[in-house]
Structure 1
Amino acid sequence: MAHRASSRPEHGVVVALDLMVPMRDGVRLATDVYLPAAGGSALPGPFPTLLIRTPYDKRGQETAVKMGEYFARRGYVVAIQDCRGRYRSEGSFTFLVQEPEDGYDTVAWLTQQPWCNGKVGTLGTSYLAWVQNALACLNPPGLAAMYVNQGGASAYHSSVRHNGAFELRFMAWAFMGAATSPEAMADPTIQAALTSTRFRDWLARLPLRPGLSPLSLVPAYERWMFDIWTRGDYDEYWEQPGFNFLAHVDRHADVPMLFCGGWYDSYTRSTLENFVAFSRRKRGPVRAIVGPWTHGTETPDLTYAGDIELGPAASIAGNLAEDVYDHHLRFFDWWLKGLDTGMAEEPPLRIFVMGGGDGHRTPQGRLYHGGAWREEREWPLARAIETPFYLQPGGGLAPRPPEADEASTSFRFDPADPVPTVGGNISSLADFYPVPPEIAARVRLEERWASIVAVGGQNQRTSAAIFGARPPYLPLASRPDVLVFQTEPLAEPVEVTGPITAVLWVSSSAPDTDITVKLVDVYPPNPDYPEGYALNLSDSIFRLRYHAGWDRPQALEPGQIYRIEIPMYPTSNLFGAGHRIRVDISSSNFPRFDVNPNTGEPLGRHTRTQVAINTIHHDRAHPSHLLLPLVPR
């Protein structure tokens, strides 16, 4: 962890609360400004300035406040702003759409303040990451550096929607946003209705109908939620700079950028797509770090992801920096203060290769999976060999093409009995949990919002704790609607690092349906796990009405065979000797994704469901396979 010194905490802090920053349309956004101080008075500066824009309450979001105080003590001004229509800011909130202009105008305002030296850096996680690239798409003068932690790239392709399907976490996010909106806070009746609503109950009543759910109590939130849910076709709506940075790379600011992500984060694919797109077309420099983490500002300081332990090397804390805050500091000290923090010698890409652990159960009850950091120069790795692993008759998976003239496997997909979500790349799929009445007044609404699904790495079996699971609680692989293809036990370790693609030949009895694919690392049995452990690594979905293109929905012809390519989330994993590489194929992963009714009706507005018989073909003429990037060892 040796690196050069960064700015030291030499100052006090004073905070100017709720400065109302004017936007181009006259709306004013509430902004708290953290200033370096001495003797209780702000120092005159000027200082480099950092901007955090949040929809989660600038004063109640603990990590944002912590960032403000941390950096102000070290000689930065930090502006933390409520996004438009959130908390103390004026205007009406619309998901992502207004963020480019509001961010641009805020940067312009900051550079005109006497305490700002003209250099502005941006930082933040999740929505706070989205807004960074959104404003950068308009290239505001003064923007000088960006630390983008776990944010989007193209909302349509792999975060809000996902290969045609809808990620239901954003419906959950709309319920949360409505409950904490200024409209709800101004009307105790509306807020009481929304905070007593259990989103998990409404998941059993999909599709929602306009005007008939508690979300309709805040019409602006209902409108944008239905927009992102029902607009399944790719069009100009999804190319807005607030939604799609990859469509605006050329006009995006050319400044130093650091993209940070995790193999179990909800934005893994986006993180690396941003890194590739901007590093190819910008001087930057553009760098990326991808660890084994789940979603969150401080999760990079953890050594576990869900139910798996990755070992003491897995965290930023103690390995790449003192902690995530220090890592941010080293980045901004380098670019905004010109201090030699050692960042100049960092590689373009640093990844954590998961795996290599012995699979014992830790004292905390997690599977020990292990792993190690590695420096790389590019993504995908130039030395990785894209290797097809073909689906074989009888459930085999092997690098040799199938030899049968005719071979296929069919299953019955009933939308009324979807495959439950067990782990994966998920965030914000959450609900307001009840609290005892005697403490309710002291618990912020945001602190009651907790996940309804297990995230990260998990053993692929159900239990009473799994949302939507029904007795008997058995492995997902025991379900008749989950097809399993796996290798023989590996004779030696195999590393898979890079983007993953499933190439499948499929047919269906329905006019529309979904295909899901999941990559699994199968541990052999051991004393701690007598039945072994099936660890999820990557998953995805494909809505078949888009077999001809995302902008050209077409009904399926019953029985006709279609070739599809499913881009999955990238990963980096070392499959140990004795393990198996497995792929699970089905048609649902709920509530991670919305369930296809199989009817071909308009998305989010179906009136019925039907059972589909879905078939995966895997013969000589239809060699379905998983394309895995194998790294020579």
Structure 2
Amino acid sequence: MTPFTVAVAALATDVHLPDGDGPFPAVLIRTPYDRRRHRAELRGWARRGFAAMAQDVRGRYASPGEWHAYENEAADGAETARWARGQSWNDGRLVAVGASYAAHCALALALDAPTDARPDAVIAAVPALGSAETAREPSGVERLLARAGWWAAHGDRPDSDESALDKALAADPGLLTHLPLTGLPERLGRSLPSWPGLWRHHERGRLLTEAEHAGMPLLAVGGHHDHFTEDTVALWRHWGGPSARLLLGPWGHGLVAEPHPDARPAHRVSLGDLYVRWARRALAGDLGRGRRGAVGLGGSPLWVPAGTEGEPRAQNVRLLHGASFTADPEHPVSSADLAVPTEGPPDRCLLVTPPLPRPLDVVGPVEVRLRATAHTPSADWAVRLVALTPEGVAQRLAVGVVRREEPPGTNAEFTVGLGRIARRLPAGTRFRLEIAGHHFPAHARNPHTGHDPVTATRLIPSRREVDAGNVVLRLPVLMSRPLPTDPAEEILR
């Protein structure tokens, strides 16, 4: 293998070439996270016959310029793709590969770049589709902790400090409680001019709209315990190319490096080997048309075909306490703690189900239907679903948050989507349903005044009532034994 570093469009780029005579198909990874972290990955691609490139995006690490997240990626990627195709060692074929922000770079090249620069295939893992998609839930509620951590680590700087937020929280545990949230950079002690602008992005779905007109194969990879699960599945569903494949396991944002407790040995997948095999078939035109893939069923050894979804079934829930409660942003329900207070005035409505009489397989979106009242002009409704195992262990299953703005005292009926799950739950499991006004610090606190939570400087409590008799928990239940599949076979068909 022949490794070397070049400046492509002035951007630092590592290139690893296979042994032997070319030309070879090429792989391009564009990243803000330091191209040097991909050297082992580049060697792996090169050993398997691909010319592999990793590039620092503009303004990051060894690449000059100013770093502006989610800008310049289509144009800079296009210059790099054209350069690669003009090299004697490239046979003209190119695969864009990336995870998280690097997946955004791959998708921007595939969907936004001029046609002559677009790749021949795309691998997008845990894709960050855009500023609005990463900063907010589909309902518009702000994902505070995740974005604060990312911006503290990577925003407005040429390198990264992955532990920046953790160090700041260690010094000031109440860091994220200070108002306004736009003042976070000052409390971090460094310049972060892009932070306020992040929250001005509300428009979602641009890349998904463009994905409908894609002209190349896609492999989308994600985890059921990742922030971007819904975006990964939506990308696969919207993809208009000749084939789209989905691999969704019981993993977090780090995929197989971050297995969830419900992962089993059968969910260990060699992603590197699978990527290479898929890329070869994609470039050769050997993939079948249409959408296929595999979803790992957590809590079991099974993979099921992508697209498998249970039938929405209402679960019997009974009220424990808190049909009337106060959502106090000065004392919000913690997103990090599954313990439920047993003393004092209730801070949430708490409901439970009877134990499951038999194991239950749930695959698909979870939703809760509510009839409830808030006595403030703005109110978030955070709904958390927790599994209580037969051994008495509480396990987070799903969370959803919606924002309602209507006259105080309005009795409203609405649905809260809690995202997708794929899980086998053993007999004896009970479900605990928590309905609260906050889910902090994962999500910003609604101040209840009607002001923007990012710029608000005043918080007030919000009195709530939940019509417990009309709370409906719908789980996507598989009504028959799931059909198992082999993930590699599904991806490579």
TM bucket, shorter chain: 0.7 to 0.9
Q: Distance in 1 between matches of 2:444 and 2:24?
A: 47
Match of 1:277 among 238, 249, 256: 238
Task: Report matched runs for 1:464-503 at 5 Å.
Answer: 475=340, 480-503=346-369
Is 1:248 paired with 2:225?
no
- Contact 2:243–2:288, Cα closer than 8 Å, also in 1: no
3-state DSSP class of the match of 2:75?
helix
- Contact 2:297–2:304, Cα closer than 8 Å, also in 1: no
Give the equivalent residue in structure 2 for 1:81. Answer: 55
Is 1:164 paired with 2:140?
yes
Q: Distance in 2 between matches of 1:378 and 1:476?
A: 39
TM-score by length of 2: 0.87
Match of 1:198 among 136, 161, 168: 168
Q: Distance in 2 between matches of 1:197 and 1:372?
A: 38
Closer, same or farther: CA 497–476 of 1 in aligned 2, 3 Å: farther
- Contact 1:497–1:573, Cα closer than 8 Å, also in 2: yes
Is 1:227 paired with 2:197?
yes
Is 1:311 paired with 2:264?
yes
3-state DSSP class of the match of 1:143?
coil
What letter corresponds to residue 250 of structure 2 in structure 1? P
Sequence identity of aligned pairs in percent?
27
Give the equivalent residue in structure 1 for 2:8. Answer: 21
Q: Distance in 2 between matches of 1:273 and 1:146?
A: 15
Q: Distance in 1 between matches of 2:209 and 2:274?
A: 30
Q: Distance in 2 between matches of 1:524 and 1:566?
A: 27
- Contact 1:154–1:270, Cα closer than 8 Å, also in 2: no
Give the equivalent residue in structure 1 for 2:436. Answer: 586
- Contact 1:167–1:594, Cα closer than 8 Å, also in 2: yes
Give the equivalent residue in structure 1 for 2:244. Answer: 286
Q: Distance in 2 between matches of 1:250 and 1:118?
A: 25
Task: Report matched runs for 1:553-632 at 5 Å.
Answer: 556-619=406-469, 623-632=470-479
Match of 1:48 among 25, 40, 43: 25
What letter corresponds to residue 11 of structure 2 in structure 1? L
Q: Please report how far the alpha carbon of residue 301 of structure 1 lies from its aligned counterpart in structure 2 after TM superposition.
A: 5.5
Q: Distance in 1 between matches of 2:427 and 2:182?
A: 51
Q: Distance in 1 between matches of 2:29 and 2:265?
A: 30
3-state DSSP class of the match of 1:213?
helix
Task: Report matched runs for 1:512-523 at 5 Å.
Answer: 512-523=378-389
Closer, same or farther: CA 493–212 of 1 in aligned 2, 3 Å: closer
Closer, same or farther: CA 174–112 of 1 in aligned 2, 3 Å: same
Is 1:103 paired with 2:77?
yes
3-state DSSP class of the match of 2:64?
coil
Q: Distance in 2 between matches of 1:337 and 1:137?
A: 21
Q: Please report how far the alpha carbon of residue 20 of structure 1 lies from its aligned counterpart in structure 2 after TM superposition.
A: 2.2
What letter corresponds to residue 313 of structure 1 in structure 2? A
3-state DSSP class of the match of 2:181?
coil
3-state DSSP class of the match of 2:122?
strand
- Contact 1:29–1:89, Cα closer than 8 Å, also in 2: yes
Render the CA deviation track for 1:274-304: whole Å, top value 9, x for unaligned.
11121xxx243101111111111xx4266x4
Render the CA deviation track for 1:515-560: whole Å, top value 9, x for unaligned.
11122221123xxxxxx01211111211223xxxxxxxxxx31110
Is 1:375 paired with 2:304?
yes
- Contact 1:125–1:148, Cα closer than 8 Å, also in 2: yes
Q: Distance in 2 between matches of 1:249 and 1:477?
A: 49
3-state DSSP class of the match of 2:98?
strand
Give the equivalent residue in structure 2 for 1:404. Answer: none
Render the CA deviation track for 1:445-477: whole Å, top value 9, x for unaligned.
xxxxxxxxxxxxxxx33xxxxxxxxxxxxx468
Q: How many residue pairs were aligned? A: 470
Task: Report matched runs for 1:176-575 at 5 Å.
Answer: 176-178=153-155, 181-182=157-158, 198-199=168-169, 201=172, 202-209=175-182, 213=186, 217-218=190-191, 221-223=192-194, 225-231=195-201, 234-235=202-203, 238=204, 244-251=206-213, 253-278=214-239, 282-296=240-254, 299-300=255-256, 304-305=259-260, 308=261, 310-316=263-269, 323-336=270-283, 348-355=292-299, 371-376=300-305, 378=307, 381=309, 384-389=310-315, 391-394=317-320, 409-422=323-336, 460-461=338-339, 475=340, 480-525=346-391, 532-545=392-405, 556-575=406-425
Render the CA deviation track for 1:291-336: whole Å, top value 9, x for unaligned.
111111xx4266x41xx253321211xxxxxx22112111122223
Closer, same or farther: CA 348–579 of 1 in aligned 2, 3 Å: same
Render the CA deviation track for 1:230-261: whole Å, top value 9, x for unaligned.
55xx34xx46xxxx31132334x321111111
Q: Please report how far the alpha carbon of residue 505 of structure 1 lies from its aligned counterpart in structure 2 after TM superposition.
A: 2.3
TM-score by length of 1: 0.68
Q: Distance in 2 between matches of 1:478 and 1:72?
A: 61
Closer, same or farther: CA 195–513 of 1 in aligned 2, 3 Å: closer
Give the root-mean-square deviation of aligned CA atoms.
Answer: 2.9
Give the equivalent residue in structure 2 for 1:116. Answer: 90
What letter corresponds to residue 244 of structure 2 in structure 1? V
- Contact 2:220–2:247, Cα closer than 8 Å, also in 1: yes
Q: Which moved more, 1:561-570 or 1:410-419?
A: 561-570
Closer, same or farther: CA 377–68 of 1 in aligned 2, 3 Å: closer
Q: Distance in 1 between matches of 2:342 and 2:366?
A: 21
Q: Please report how far the alpha carbon of residue 513 of structure 1 lies from its aligned counterpart in structure 2 after TM superposition.
A: 2.0
What letter corresponds to residue 373 of structure 1 in structure 2? L
Closer, same or farther: CA 107–390 of 1 in aligned 2, 3 Å: farther
Q: Distance in 1 between matches of 2:178 and 2:320?
A: 38
Give the equivalent residue in structure 1 for 2:485. Answer: none
Match of 2:16 among 17, 27, 34: 34
